[in-house]
Structure 1
Amino acid sequence: MSLRSRVIALCTVLLVLVVLAALWGTVSIDDIWQAGWLQDMATRIAENPWLTWLVFGAVVIGVQIAVPQLVLVVVSVILLGAWEGFFVVYIGMLVGSAIGYLLGRWLARHPVRRLSGRKMRQFSRLLARRGIMNMTLINLLPLGPHTIINLAAGSSHLRFRDFLPGTAIGLLPSTVLTAVATHVLLQVGRAPTTGEATVALILLALLGVGGWLATRWAWRWVSRQ
C-alpha cells in the first residue's frame, strides 16, 4: 500500500471514529432500551435455566468454525455478565481447542497441511520445537485463526501436555482484557459525552493498531525460525 493510500485510510478511520463518538454521545442506550420487544427478549434469555450451558456449547462450536475470539468473549459477557461470562468463554475455548487438537491428530498431518497452506506449515515446524513457549506465543497474539492453529498443533509432533498449558496461558490475557473492556463499556456506555466517547473509540483503535503491529512482528519472527 502506498503512503498516500495509508494516509487516506487513516483519515477515513479517524472520521468514522468522530462520527461514531458524536452519535454515541447524543443517543442514549436507555432510549433504545425502552423498546418493549427488546426488554422482553432480554428477559426471556436471562431467565433461561440452560443459558450458561447454551453459551458454553456455542463457544465450543464457535472455536471449531473459526468464530473470532473477540466475538465469543463479548457475546458471553453480554449474556452472562463479567465474571460468569469470562469463566464460561475461557473454559469453552480451552475445551474447543482440545477438540481441535484431537481432530488434527485424527486427520493426520498431510490433509491438514494441504488445507492450511504455507503459514500452517511454518506453525507445524515451530511447534515441533519449544512447544509450550511457542504455543503460548501463537495464541497470545494470535498468529492465525484458532481453528487452524489447533488443527496444526494436533497434526504436528506437539504433545497434548504441552499444547494445553500453552493454549491456556496464551488465551488468558486477551480473554481477560476483552471481558474487562466489554464490562466497562457496558457500564459507562449508557450516556457518555462526545469527548468521552471519542477518547474511548480512539483507545480501541490504538489497541487494534498495536495488535496488528505485534502480529506483523511475530510473523517475521516465526519466518526466521
Structure 2
Amino acid sequence: MTKKPFYQESTWTLAPGQSHNVPRRSDFLSCLEATKPFKVQIGEAPETGFQKGLTYTSEADFDSVRIINPTDETIIVTLGFGRGGVRDGRFAALGAIETREKLQMRPFDIGGVISGADGIEYINNMAFISSTVEQVMPIDDMRQKAIFRNASETSAIYFYATTGARVSKYATVVAQPGQTVEILGGAAVYANSEEPTALAFADEVVHV
C-alpha cells in the first residue's frame, strides 16, 4: 500500500524542564531550527539527543514525538514531519560555514584588443590619463579590487573611487611615477594626472 504524501512543520516554545507530546504519524523527523540542543522520544523508543540540522528516518511509521527541554533555559524548536516519500531538503547549518571564494585577476579591458609582436591578441589595459578627471572604470559589483600601475616617469596620477554621481575633489589614492596602487571594491574609478598625459596599466581582481 502506497503511503499518502504528507509534510508539516511546527514551532514550539518550551520552558526549562518542560516536555510536549506531538501526535503526528510520520516516517521522518527533521529539526529545522533550535535555540539549544534538546531531547526527543520518537514513538516508544528511548529518549535521545536532538538538535538543529539532524534528521531521523524510520522504515516504519511512528505515531508521536515527545519534545523535551532538559536545559535550564527556555528553548524554541521548529520540527518538520513527513511521510510517503516527502523529505525536507533544506539545509540547516549547525554553526558558521567556511566558504572559499573564487577570484580571478585579469587585465581591465579599456580599449578592446591589441596585437603583439608575436601575433597574439592581448586585452588593451593601457589608460592614457589626462589632466582632466575622467572615468577609467565603471561600477562593477563583481570586482574585488582595481589595480593601477603608473607607467609615467615624471607625473603622479590621482585616482578617485565613487559609487555616486559626484566625484570628490580629494583623491582616494595617488600613484607616484612607477608606483602600483590598489582600490578595494567595485566602485567607479576616475583619474587625472599632474601632466597633460600619463600612462597607466589597469588590472582587476573579480569574483568568478
State which structure, 1 or 2, has the greater radius of gyration over its C-alpha atoms.
2
Q: Which of 1 and 2 has higher RCO (CA within 8 Å, sep 6+)?
A: 1
- The TM-score bracket by the shorter chain reads under 0.3
Between structures 1 and 2, the one with greater helix share? 1
Between structures 1 and 2, the one with greater strand share? 2
